[in-house]
Amino acid sequence: MTDASLHLWMIPLLPLIGAGINGLFGRHFRNAAVSFVALLFTAASFGYAVWAVVQGLHLGNLPYIETGPTWITAGNFSAPFGFYLDQLSMVMVLVVTGVGFLIHIYSVGYMAHEGGFYRFFSYLNLFMFFMLTLVLANNYLLMFVGWEGVGLASYLLIGFFFLKDSAADAGKKAFIVNRIGDFAFLIGMFLLIKHFGTLNYDAVFKSVSNMPTESGWGLLTAIALLLMFGATGKSAQVPLYVWLPDAMEGPTPVSALIHAATMVTAGIYMIARSNAIFSRSPHALEVVAIIGCLTAIFAATMGMTQTDIKRVLAYSTVSQLGYMFLACGVAAYSAAIFHLMTHAFFKALLFLGAGSVIHAIGGEQDMRRMGGLRKLIPKTHFVMLVATLAIAGIPPFAGFFSKDEILGQVFSSPHGSKALWVVGVITAGLTSFYMFRLYFMTFYGDLKLGKVDIGEEAHAANAPAHAQHGAAAHSHGHADDQAHGHGRVHESPWVMIGPLMVLALLSFVGGWIGVPAFMGGGNNFGSFLAPVIKSGAPTSPTAMEHVPEAAGQPQEEKQENPTEEWGLAGISVAAALIGLFFAWLLYYKNPGLPDQITAKIHGIYLTVLHKYYVDEGYGLLFVKPLLGLSTVVFWRGVDQGVIDGLVNGAGTASKSIGGELRRMQSGNIRSYAAWVAAGGAAVIAYMIWLGVSK
Amino acid sequence: MNQWILTLVTFIPAAGAIVLMLLPRNDRLLRWAALLISLIAFAFSIYLPIHMPGMHSGFEFQIDQRWIGHDIHYHLGADGISMWLTLLTTFLVPLSVLVSWKSIHDRVKEFFVLLLILETAMIGVFLALDLFLFYVFWEATLIPMALLIGMYGHERRVYAAVKFFLYTMVASVFMLAAIIWLYVQTSSFDYATLRQWVHDGNASSGALQWLFLGFFIAFAVKVPLFPLHTWLPDAHVEAPTAGSVLLAGVLLKMGTYGLLRFNVGMFPKEAAANAGWINVLAIIGIIYGALVALVQPNLKKLIAYSSVSHLGFVVLGIFTFTQAGTDGAVYQMLNHGVSTGALFMLAGMIYERKHTYEFREYGGLAAPMPVYATFFLIAVLSSVGLPLLNGFVGEFLVLSGAFQDKMIYGILGASGVIWGACYLLWMYQKVFFGPIRREQNKSLRDLDGREQISLWPVAVMVVIMGVISPYWMKTIDPAVAEINRQSQTAVKAARARHAVPAPAKSSIISPAGGQK
């Protein structure tokens, strides 16, 4: 291993150079030069990553570990700049650089008319640097560098249109909510240091592999839960998901890259990376599964009521990340990563497609003002259809295979349960419903752009906040893309359509590398990742033998029961078709129906529309009391009232005793200094006298 | 050279002050002269880390001459801790001169004379190894700083200067009493001698507790530790920019340096015995400072309260007596000096344009002033503790050490990372984001060349210290180990007395195989 160094540090460093060049000098560049620099370094990073992966596979003997100079050290503890290449980081690095590069290309077209072009690409490259550090690190501390760094890039990009309060608010919210998760991640690292003395993966996992599975709540469970809570921040799970929908304030390519395809999957990656720890803690797995399941269905219901096209996709992302969490929770890590990958393809495609729609109609994001775009922007329509089929889980599109893999594992894994599976299937139906709702509202019916929406007026009468939301979406849509306010619907340029086509292809065929055995495939994806998970799995002789054919889930006793597996797959497809049918019925066949239904279940509808009032609840429970406490009790009360009261009181008291002191209060500081000097001289004289008299 | 280098570094500024007094009242000349002198002092101080042996504990570059009588010595020396604090001082003073370039136009000569005298006094505090000498330098910092605030500050400058002076003066008296007591007992002011004398058990534990408290109160006010911090916001808001930079950057570190050098170094048993309540105060400071910072309507006040929070981390790190915690605390002293120094410099630059620190006058400034916004962002991110910037290294080590000491310290302290993000991003948004609320702010001019030159060194240091911290650690680590050796023994002894049998489930908790 030592003979051939892969210099993995090059992969993250290349985009950092790009970010540096554009950040420092981009102001003086023309747009073409800025995009050239940004694309060049991203492409170089992608190329290098492909080369490194090929070399790594040749080397065999994975994981390949590269340890560079020390970053932080104190006493016996030290953490290096070190990189780690195994099957898991290979998948991640290819997804990040590949999808990242496509989105960079797309952005050249999408951002062409925006101010701050260089700033945008500098941030985007910076994001790539941190994300690649995150997935390539060989220790938790360096992973944390990427972890916080992508948070910074996200903060900067969400707040890209910083003159809008809503964008600035959303960026800040994202950073702070993520910090709450990071707090738990930090504590988890402290526990690791305390008990293992190191944060390096190989050393930690080696120690962990000698430990038994915990039946109760022990050290590993504590670590796993803390890491998981960190992941709920970055991967937008209950209870910390609230930042992601707001993050849609960022430009659409950002939503695609950071808030769909890559950054938000960091939590999934972290759990899969730590599978040795999680697999030894059934309790932690249980919590992960429940949180994932809850998030999946909860977010899906919210996605059903949103009218802003990007917000629908945001809730959809939260929901899909819930699936991945669920998969991790049943120890089906490779299924989670499989879905992570296919999701990166089709969700990036959905966001970029939505961006193309928004671009085409002059910045409008409210789906109630869209419609009939199928004929006007056919290429965009085509790719959106592919992506919608993929996310809905219609075979043979990519999403079908990965989602089916997860649901199958949830059903049959010893960590899974039927109840979780039922919720998963219902969520699949809801997913299909809200995605086809989006599809029909956008591409069928009549274009309502610029016309007064009577339906909306009716809503407005019932729900002022609702109308307000619509208005906000409207205005920010325009602010987002003012340059396109020329009113004519137009297809996007090729620089945007090209990446869409590539992603559409990937969304179609991307699942085929993981065709399960019962369908005649080899589940190549699962067996590719198997070594990563096998090495971390608790040792039990029966499990080990099943590894090669069993989807990389050494623990599970995979039933060789094709009938059952066909049945499960059939049920999830049926759920998707039912969802599709209702979407067709309500938003194509009979567009008046949704209003009647929402009128009937008005209370529930409003609750869901307002996202279950979670944001309001957090505000009422945490933010307001905290600010009140800080202002009234701490600042005005303790600081100015009690402490300064005492200090000033003491001052006043001494003033009334010693008349001389009054002169000092009158502002003659020089005379005061003289007094002090005199006092000091007296003290020194006394001490000299002490010294002499001895 | 080795013997004279510390004297040179310490007194070049004072000598420069004398030169300045002799120069004619030509403001331009005075500014350049002050800058040149402070740069010479910085250049000489660079000698120290280059020639400081790594992985070596104990004091280097010592000079020990009889001064007054035969007990008071002129004794200077530097270890990994005091050396870096000295460099922090010599690094910040030239920048303070630069930020005062235009903002000080009245009594320019006096201003720079005071600044340079202050520099000598601050360096002396870090390098003095004779307690009498230390006290002289300690008090000598007070007068120029109080005068800088009182003569060159804003509206309520006199109140702030007096409050600052009284607070720290009163507290210092206790330290003076402790020093005199020690002298009366031993006829020595020598740090090493007194330390050995205490360690050898020559004093009753009751007396040592009083001595400990005597030193503690003086340093705690300076840090400032909750609840002794209320002088700080007033002093900062009223101080001129250079005053704030040095007050936050260096003067507060004199407090934490004193805690480490004297309270922990000389009285390890008492430090261990008192660590409980001190750490509670430190943690209250972290959280309380952050929460109060969160609701400040005034930029400078917010940064001042953030110092209360950040210095809480330092005190927490010191009183965990762990290698990581104390290493982190020392590093955090340097970090705070650099990044809060930068924040005050930046606050001063906007004050020069707008003559206010109130947030309601700002908003959306990132549009007219992109360069300013970028520098400000770097300083904010450094304070927030973003990895790969300096603040993270210190914060991580402090919290990791605190966690090893007592889990709850680490957990409560780590909540500071959330609060820090809250108030700093809030602040950044109020100044730079959102719509521009004042018409005249649309035409604010961005940073000029001089301002950028004064900020570049800080920005570069923020990154370098975040990426290659081992360079600093190789000298800090052994110095910290030397100070902590005694206190760790004391802590272990105390813990052993209160030891309870390990619970049965500890088999789950302990690491498998015991490899560490």
Does the distance separating the beta carbons of A71 and B470 come in below 8 Å?
A: yes
Does the distance separating the beta carbons of A643 and B432 come in below 8 Å?
A: no
Q: Which residue of A has its CA nearest to B170?
A: A676
Residue where a domain terminates, one of A609, A639, A669:
A609
Residues of B numbered 477-496 whose beta carbons fall under 8 angstroms of chain A's beta carbons: which are they?
477, 481
Q: How far is B328 from chain A (nearest CA, A)?
A: 8
Task: Indicate whether A628 and A598 sit together in one domain.
Answer: no
Is A548 a member of any domain? Answer: no
Burial of A667 (0-12, 13-18, 19+ CB in 10 A): middle
Is A493 a member of any domain? Answer: yes
Q: How many domains does chain A have?
A: 2
Which distant-in-sequence residues (6+ apart) come within 8 Å of B513 by Cβ? A207, A210
Best residue of A208, A669, A670, A675 to probe chain B, by most B CBs closer than 10 Å: A669
pLDDT for the residue B128:
95
Q: Tokens standing for A495?
A: 């620089």
Q: Which of A26-30, A381-385, B225-229 has the highest mean pLDDT?
A: A381-385
Task: Indicate whether A590 and A681 sit together in one domain.
Answer: no
Indicate the SS3 state at residue B130.
Answer: strand
Rg (CA), chain B: 22
Q: Are A248 and A259 in contact (CB under 8 A)?
A: yes
Amino acid residing at B377: L
Is the per-residue pLDDT at B492 higher than 60?
yes
CA A275, CA A280: separation in Å to the nearest integer? 8
> Tens digit of pLDDT for each residue in B228-268?
888 899 899 899 999 999 999 999 999 999 999 999 999 99
Task: Indicate whether A117 and A173 sit together in one domain.
Answer: yes
Does the distance separating the beta carbons of B477 and A74 come in below 8 Å?
A: yes
Number of A–B residue contacts, CB under 8 Å:
211
- State the virtual CA torsion across B405, B411, B416, B422 in degrees, nearest 10: 170
Residues of A numbered 402-421 whose beta carbons fall under 8 angstroms of chain B's beta carbons: which are they?
none
Q: Which domain holds residue A91?
A: 10-537+560-609
Residue where a domain terminates, one of A580, A609, A638:
A609
Q: Which domain holds residue B464?
A: 286-494
Spell out which residues of chain A touch residue B184, defining contact as CB-CB under 8 Å.
690
pLDDT for the residue B336:
95
Q: For residue B62, give the H/E element and its range.
A: strand B60-68
> Tens digit of pLDDT for each residue in B211-221?
999 999 999 99
Q: Tokens standing for A681?
A: 């001289």
Is B270 a member of any domain? Answer: no
Report the 10 Å Cβ neighbour count for B408: 12
Is A5 a member of any domain? Answer: no
Evaluate the CA torsion angle B34, B40, B42, B48 in order and state its sign: negative
Higher pLDDT, A216 or B480: B480
Q: How far is A631 from chain B (nearest CA, A)?
A: 6
Q: Are B219 and B259 in contact (CB under 8 A)?
A: yes
Does the distance separating the beta carbons of A187 and B396 come in below 8 Å?
A: no
Longest dimension (CA), chain B: 79
Mean local confidence (pLDDT), A307-330: 93
Longest dimension (CA), chain A: 108
Indicate the SS3 state at residue B189.
Answer: coil
CA–CA distances in Å: residue A19 to residues A15, A87, B293 = 6, 28, 33
> Tens digit of pLDDT for each residue in A173-221?
999 999 999 999 999 999 999 999 999 999 999 999 888 888 888 899 9
Partner B contacted by A60 (CB < 8 A): no
Task: Indicate whether A445 and A585 sit together in one domain.
Answer: yes
Is the per-residue pLDDT at B504 higher than 50?
no
- One DSSP character per residue, B75-125 reads EEEE-HHHHHHHHHHHHHHHHHHHHTTTT--SSHHHHHHHHHHHHHHHHHH
DSSP H helices, A481-520, are 494-509
Evaluate the CA torsion angle B474, B394, B456, B145 in order and state its sign: negative
Task: Indicate whether A636 and A575 sit together in one domain.
Answer: no
Partner B contacted by A643 (CB < 8 A): yes
Is the per-residue pLDDT at B434 higher than 80?
yes
pLDDT for the residue A530:
84
Task: Indicate whether A583 and A658 sit together in one domain.
Answer: no
Q: CA angle B172-B165-B347, nearest 5°?
A: 120
Task: Indicate whether A96 and A148 sit together in one domain.
Answer: yes
Q: Are A403 and A521 in contact (CB under 8 A)?
A: no
Q: How confident is the model at residue B87 (pLDDT cuts 50, 70, 90)?
A: very high
Least confident window among A184-193, A342-351, A374-383: A374-383
With residues binned 3-state (H G I as helix, E B as strand, rest as coil), the percentages for chain B, rounded to 5, are 75, 5, 20
Phi-psi category of B321—alpha, beta or left, where left has phi over 0 and alpha has psi -120 to 50? left
Amino acid residing at B250: V
Rg (CA), chain A: 29
Task: Indicate whether A571 and A688 sit together in one domain.
Answer: no
Indicate the SS3 state at residue B63.
Answer: strand
How many CA atoms lie less than 13 Å away from B182 in the CB half-sphere?
A: 31
Is the per-residue pLDDT at A470 higher than 50?
no
CA B16, CA A270: separation in Å to the nearest integer? 57
Mean local confidence (pLDDT), A450-455: 49
Q: Tokens standing for A644?
A: 């300064």
Mean local confidence (pLDDT), A11-17: 95
CA B183, CA B212: separation in Å to the nearest integer? 15
Burial of A395 (0-12, 13-18, 19+ CB in 10 A): middle
Partner B contacted by A169 (CB < 8 A): yes
Q: Tokens standing for B101?
A: 């370039």
Which position has the token pair 């402790």?
A: B178
Q: Are B135 and B154 in contact (CB under 8 A)?
A: no
Burial of B24 (0-12, 13-18, 19+ CB in 10 A): exposed
Q: Are A155 and A174 in contact (CB under 8 A)?
A: yes
Least confident window among A252-266, A375-389, A416-430, A469-483: A469-483
How many CA atoms lie less than 13 Å away from A284 in the CB half-sphere?
A: 27
Q: How many domains does chain B have?
A: 1
pLDDT for the residue A529:
87
> Tens digit of pLDDT for each residue in B408-430?
999 999 999 999 999 999 999 99
Closest CA to A262 of A406, A82, A132: A132
- State the virtual CA torsion across B462, B468, B470, B473 in degrees, nearest 10: -20
- State the virtual CA torsion across A185, A190, A191, A192 in degrees, nearest 10: 90
Q: How confident is the model at residue A670 (pLDDT cuts 50, 70, 90)?
A: low
Least confident window among A6-10, A475-479, A587-591, B34-38: A475-479
Is the per-residue pLDDT at A618 higher than 60?
yes
> Tens digit of pLDDT for each residue in A99-153?
999 999 999 988 888 888 899 999 999 999 999 999 999 999 999 999 999 999 9
Which position has the token pair 């033998």?
A: A545
Which position has the token pair 């049943």?
A: A330
Spell out which residues of chain B touch residue A647, defining contact as CB-CB under 8 Å.
163, 167, 230-231
Q: Tokens standing for A118?
A: 């260089």
- For B130, phi then psi, to 5°, come to -115, 130
Is the per-residue pLDDT at A647 higher than 80?
no
State how far Cα B407 lies from the chain centre: 26
Q: Are A327 and A335 in contact (CB under 8 A)?
A: yes
CA B138, CA B135: separation in Å to the nearest integer? 5
* pTM for this predicted structure: 0.89
CA B438, CA A381: separation in Å to the nearest integer? 45
Task: Indicate whether A602 and A627 sit together in one domain.
Answer: no
Is the per-residue pLDDT at A596 higher than 90?
no
pLDDT for the residue A42:
95
Q: What is the mean pLDDT of chain A?
A: 83
CA B5, CA A683: separation in Å to the nearest integer? 30
Indicate the SS3 state at residue A251.
Answer: coil
CA B436, CA B366: separation in Å to the nearest integer? 9
Does the distance separating the beta carbons of A73 and B470 come in below 8 Å?
A: yes
CA–CA distances in Å: residue A120 to residues A174, A363, A494, B114, B475 = 18, 18, 20, 46, 41
pLDDT for the residue A214:
82
Q: SS3 letters for A17-63?
A: HHHHHHHHHHHHCCHHHHHHHHHHHHHHHHHHHHHHHHHHHHHCCCC
Q: How far is A445 from chain B (nearest CA, A)?
A: 38
Mean local confidence (pLDDT), A471-481: 39
CA A401, CA A342: separation in Å to the nearest integer? 9
Q: Which of A101-105, A635-639, B489-493 has the highest mean pLDDT?
A: A101-105
CA–CA distances in Å: residue B179 to residues A540, B59, B90, B207, B488 = 67, 21, 28, 12, 25
Residues paired with residue A77 on neighbouring β-strands, in sequence order: A74
Is the per-residue pLDDT at B296 higher than 80?
yes
Report the 10 Å Cβ neighbour count for A392: 28
pLDDT for the residue A591:
80
Task: Indicate whether A585 and A681 sit together in one domain.
Answer: no
Is the per-residue pLDDT at A677 higher than 70?
no
Task: Indicate whether A686 and A604 sit together in one domain.
Answer: no
Q: Are B221 and B252 in contact (CB under 8 A)?
A: no
Is the per-residue pLDDT at A463 higher than 50?
no
Residue where a domain terminates, one of A609, A625, A643:
A609
Indicate the SS3 state at residue B230.
Answer: coil
pLDDT for the residue A473:
38
Q: Tokens standing for B121?
A: 């006094």
pLDDT for the residue A6:
86
Mean local confidence (pLDDT), A429-438: 93
> Tens digit of pLDDT for each residue in B330-354?
999 999 999 999 999 999 999 999 8
Is the per-residue pLDDT at A413 higher than 70?
yes
Spell out which residues of chain B touch residue A651, defining contact as CB-CB under 8 Å.
166
Is the per-residue pLDDT at A19 higher than 70?
yes
Q: How far is A131 from chain B (nearest CA, A)?
A: 13
Amino acid residing at A687: M
pLDDT for the residue A456:
43
Is the per-residue pLDDT at A323 higher than 60?
yes
Q: How confident is the model at residue A633 (pLDDT cuts 50, 70, 90)?
A: confident
Closest CA to B127 of B10, B208, B11: B10
Q: How far is A322 from chain B (nearest CA, A)?
A: 25
Mean local confidence (pLDDT), B397-409: 93
Evaluate the CA torsion angle A197, A201, A206, A212 in order and state its sign: positive
Task: Indicate whether A574 and A680 sit together in one domain.
Answer: no
pLDDT for the residue A684:
54
Q: How confident is the model at residue B107 (pLDDT cuts 50, 70, 90)?
A: confident
Q: Which of A269-283, A367-381, A470-484, A487-501 has the highest mean pLDDT?
A: A269-283
Higher pLDDT, A632 or A68: A68
Is the per-residue pLDDT at B378 higher than 50?
yes
Closest CA to A402 of A413, A415, A417, A391: A391
Is the per-residue pLDDT at A311 higher than 70?
yes
Residues paired with residue A84 on neighbouring β-strands, in sequence order: A65
Which distant-in-sequence residues (6+ apart) come within 8 Å of A554 by Cβ? A530, A533, A534, A537, A543, A544, A546, A547
Q: How confident is the model at residue B57 (pLDDT cuts 50, 70, 90)?
A: confident
